Structures are given as structure tokens and as C-alpha cells.
Amino acid sequence: MATILIVDDDEALRDGLAETVTDLGHTPLAVRSGCEAVATLAQQPVAAVLLDLRMPGDLDGIATLGQIRALSDPPPVTVLTAFASPANTIEAMRLGAHDHLTKPIGRADLAENLASMLLCSPTHIAEEPACEAANGLIGSSEAMRRVQKAIGLLADSGATVLIQGETGTGKEEVARALHAFSARRARPFVPVNCAATPADLLESELFGHVRGALGGATSDRAGAFHLAEGGTLFLDEIGDMSPMMQAKILRVIQDRMVTPVGGKPGRVDVRVVAATHQDLQGMVAEDRFRADLYYRLNVIPIVIPPLRERLADIVPLAEHFLAVSGKRLGDTASTRLLSHRWPGNVRELRNVVERAAVMTRSRLIEASDLDLATATSSHRANGMIEIGIEADLPGAVARLECAMIVAALSEAGGNRTKAARRLGIQRQLLYAKIERYGLGGAPDLDLSRDTTATVAKADDLDVLGSV
């Protein structure tokens, strides 16, 4: 039996978590603020902490986490929030959180989390100043939250990172977030597109040149490695780099020595982050990419899933792109966006939404305003969104669940209480899922957006966890 410290200003949630912790065979210790949590830890040891992110007073969840992790022997901490954002997820993981979970929390998920924390050996991580949000990383799907957690864990590391994902998934945004949340954030972030730069100019682009070394070189020129000194160099589409340049990049990554064209070698302090949409491992097997460079780059991989596997991110992304125009999505537009397969990923979504904002006079964007391929309709059957057998299980469950919620709301005329009855779930659980999938905002519905107050009851805890 272990003592679990529960920190939350919401009495109902504290009681619900405490009851579940007791049922799982542990001893709950509940407090209502970050200050009480820090004081409690100074007086007695606990095995693990469940910490709410949003709390009133001087110590919110992130500040409390920082103080806990600064202790000489800190317990593992899981941060809980009803409003997960890329910034708070990354920051929590960067400061040493064991995990970052969204409310309401299923009983099975809580049991798994506690078991994992109790097996974890505490590691001291001192509190660091908070970074600004990585605004380009929009998404609260489980797939994107895994990416955000990885960014938080890797941000302060100097290790080389390889970002993989289809074209248009946002690989540069992930690279920028790695830089923005790192200790290098005050230094430059320098992106270089290896596919867009001619092969005969890439060496000079990366390493620089001295006067007279090239035709037309009338003065010395610093390359990207020197421009990124102390910061981060992002090598986009590195799979398109020529074999000769692959060899030279390998040497730089190994030795951190850069030789300008026609010049002398010099040491640089640069973190290298690379990205590609290609299968580098397959290219290695076909002798089209150096195996030694692949293993140097692939020290820590981050894989960004395609948008079709991130159903919960589609509507929030669309609303983000619409925000600058002052327009918003109607329910029919949201449903249409969710049914599309998005072969061009986030880049395609942005183009579709921004085009609709320009071409529509109304402040409300509906399905008829979206210029989507007619093939979209082939992915729907009887008004339901096709799941797709190629999707992973969480993605398939999310797609089906979202489709059922959309159908129930439509049949209930937008009445969420009636929709919850049709779905056979409690109203609070439906509110949480509407928030998760970005399906709210209909003008004729009167619903509080403060889902922190709608805490899962005991029977809710057994229902959740499917997505």
C-alpha cells in the first residue's frame, strides 16, 4: 500500500480520485492547493502525486511541480488537466512530470498510471523558467500528446533528433518547439531545406565559404552551422541530400568541426535536428542513404502521425487557422472536415480553411463553403465517418466515437442532454468528449465551457479510457 498525494482545488474531483485510489489499494492524502502540497511533502513522504494544473493562488500546477521536483528526493508527479495544451504538456514533461493526463480520467488509466509511477525511480530536476507556448503545435489527440511529451523530455538534451512524418504534418513546428523549450532558445534557430537547395550550393549554404573560393564569391560568407552557433540547426528533408554531402554532414555531427569552402576548420556549438518524409531505414537497405549517418541522426526519433490518425486535432486546427479572419466553423463544416482523409495533412487543412475564409462573406463557415474533393463522400456511409482498417486502434475508436456523437447531436437537434441519453452516457462525459473533439460552439446551445467543474463520478471512471 502506498500513500498518494492528491492536489486539486475541486472538492468533488479530490473525493472521486481519493475513492478510486482507495479502491486500488492505496492510501489517499488530499490537499486543495499547491502551497498545502509543498508543506505536506516537507512533513511526510509520499509515493506519488496527482497534481491538478489549474489552481488558484500563487502556486498553479506548473509552479507546484517545479517546487516538488526541486526537493532532494521528489516523488513522481502526474499532472492532470481538463484543458491540455501543447505548451503545458511540454512544460510539464520538461520539468520532470511522470505523465500529463486529461480529465476525466478512467479507472483503468489511473490504475496503470499509479502502477507506473510506483515503479519509477525519482530523478532530481531543478525548476526552470517557463517557456512561451509553441503556438504552432495545435492538437490534443493522444498521438500529438505523445509528440508533445517527447518534446518536453528532449528539449534540454543536446542529443540529435530525427523527426519523421508525411509531408505537411508539421515537422518544422516540432523542431521549433524543441528549440523554443530548450536552454538554447535565446540563440538562433536556423532552418535549411536540403531538398530546395541545389546540390552544388548546399555545401556553401551549410558550411559557408571564403572570398574567392567560388565563382562570384567576393566576400566571406558564414554558413548555416555558424549562423546557428549556440542554437539549433534544422536540416529539413535530409533524405534528399547527395551522398557526398551525407559524408560531410556525418563528419560535422561527429566532430562538431565545420570547414568553410576554401577555408580552415573551426569548432561549432550547434544542436542538429533533422527531418524527412522518406523511409530512411528503407533507403539505407537500398544503399541510397548512408547507414552511419542514419544511426547518427536517429539517436532519438520523433514520429508525427498523419492528420487522418489525429481526429481530435482537425477541428481545433481549423479554428486556429480561422481565428485571424474572425470567422468560425459551423456544425456542418466540422462534420465535413472530420470525414475528409487529408492526404496533404495539416498543410492541406490550412489551405482549405483559409480559402473558405477568403471566399465566404458570412462569418459562419459551413460545409458548402469548403472546397474539398468529391471523394470525401466515398469515405462516409449512412452519415457515419469511415473508420478505416489501416488506422491504429485508438484512432479507429476515436473516429467511431466522434461520428456517433455528431450523429446523436444531429438527431437531438443540438440538445446535449438528449444526445447523451441516446448515446447511453452521462451528460458530463459527453461534454468532455465534445470538448476533446472540438465539436462545441453551436450558437443555439447553452453550455458552460468550464469542464474542470464537471468531474467524473464513480461510474464515469469505469466508462472512460477507451480513447
pLDDT digits (tens, 9 = 90+) for 155-204: 888 899 999 999 999 999 999 999 999 999 999 999 999 998 888 789 88
Instruction: Give yes or no: residues 274 and 315 share one domain.
Output: no
Indicate whether 139 belongs to any domain.
no
Boundary-marking domain end, from 278, 303, 328: 303
Predicted local distance difference test score (pLDDT) of residue 302: 95
**3-state class of 280 per DSSP?**
helix
Indicate whether 68 belongs to any domain.
yes
Instruction: Give yes or no: residues 59 and 39 share one domain.
Output: yes
Indicate whether 95 belongs to any domain.
yes
Is the pLDDT at 223 greater than 50? The verdict is yes
Instruction: Give yes or no: residues 314 and 431 share one domain.
Output: yes
What is the average per-residue pLDDT within 443-453?
37
Give the CATH number for residue 268. 3.40.50.300
Distance, in Å, from the CA atom of 426 to the CA atom of 323, rounded to the nearest integer, reads 32
Count CB-CB contacts under 10 A for residue 324: 9
Structural domain of 267: 157-303
Number of domains forming the structure of the chain: 3
What is the average per-residue pLDDT within 99-124?
79
Of the candidates 252, 253, 261, 272, the one whose C-alpha atom is nearest the C-alpha of residue 203 is: 261
Boundary-marking domain end, from 259, 283, 303: 303
Instruction: Give yes or no: residues 346 and 448 share one domain.
Output: yes
Predicted local distance difference test score (pLDDT) of residue 56: 83
Helix, strand, coil percent values for the chain (each to nearest 5)? 45, 15, 40
Predicted local distance difference test score (pLDDT) of residue 135: 55
Instruction: Give yes or no: residues 37 and 91 share one domain.
Output: yes
In angstroms, the Cα distances linking 203 to 222, 241, 466 are: 11, 10, 50
The one-letter amino acid at 49: V
Distance, in Å, from the CA atom of 343 to the CA atom of 290, rounded to the nearest integer, reads 29
Is the pLDDT at 132 greater than 60? The verdict is no
pLDDT digits (tens, 9 = 90+) for 364-388: 888 889 988 644 443 443 444 555 4
Cβ atoms of residues 464 and 430 within 8 Å: no
**3-state class of 130 per DSSP?**
coil
Q: What pTM was estimated for this model as a whole? A: 0.65
At 217, is the pLDDT very low, low, confident or very high (cuts 50, 70, 90)? low
What is the average per-residue pLDDT within 30-55?
92
Give the CATH number for residue 14. 3.40.50.2300
Instruction: Give yes or no: residues 106 and 210 share one domain.
Output: no
Indicate whether 133 belongs to any domain.
no
Beta strand residue intervals within 218-360, DSSP E: 221-222, 232-236, 257-258, 266-267, 271-276, 300-303, 328-329
Distance, in Å, from the CA atom of 271 to the CA atom of 297, rounded to the nearest integer, reads 11
Predicted local distance difference test score (pLDDT) of residue 451: 36
Is the pLDDT at 455 greater than 50? The verdict is no
Indicate whether 125 belongs to any domain.
no
Of the candidates 174, 171, 190, 195, the one whose C-alpha atom is nearest the C-alpha of residue 272 is: 190
Predicted local distance difference test score (pLDDT) of residue 392: 56
Predicted local distance difference test score (pLDDT) of residue 275: 96
Instruction: Give yes or no: residues 195 and 223 share one domain.
Output: yes
What is the average per-residue pLDDT within 386-391?
48
Distance, in Å, from the CA atom of 371 to the CA atom of 373, rounded to the nearest integer, reads 7
Is the pLDDT at 356 greater than 70? The verdict is yes
pLDDT digits (tens, 9 = 90+) for 248-275: 999 999 999 998 888 888 999 999 999 9
pLDDT digits (tens, 9 = 90+) for 294-304: 999 999 999 99
Instruction: Give yes or no: residues 252 and 345 share one domain.
Output: no
Indicate whether 151 belongs to any domain.
no
Predicted local distance difference test score (pLDDT) of residue 410: 77
Indicate whether 152 belongs to any domain.
no
Indicate whether 338 belongs to any domain.
yes
**3-state class of 350 per DSSP?**
helix
pLDDT digits (tens, 9 = 90+) for 289-326: 999 999 999 999 999 999 988 888 898 899 989 988 88
Predicted local distance difference test score (pLDDT) of residue 285: 94
Instruction: Give yes or no: residues 103 and 188 share one domain.
Output: no
Instruction: Give yes or no: residues 172 and 257 share one domain.
Output: yes
Boundary-marking domain end, from 303, 336, 358: 303
Instruction: Give yes or no: residues 316 and 441 share one domain.
Output: yes
| Percentage, residues of the chain above pLDDT 90 | 42
Give the CATH number for residue 448. 1.10.8.60
Instruction: Give yes or no: residues 190 and 110 share one domain.
Output: no
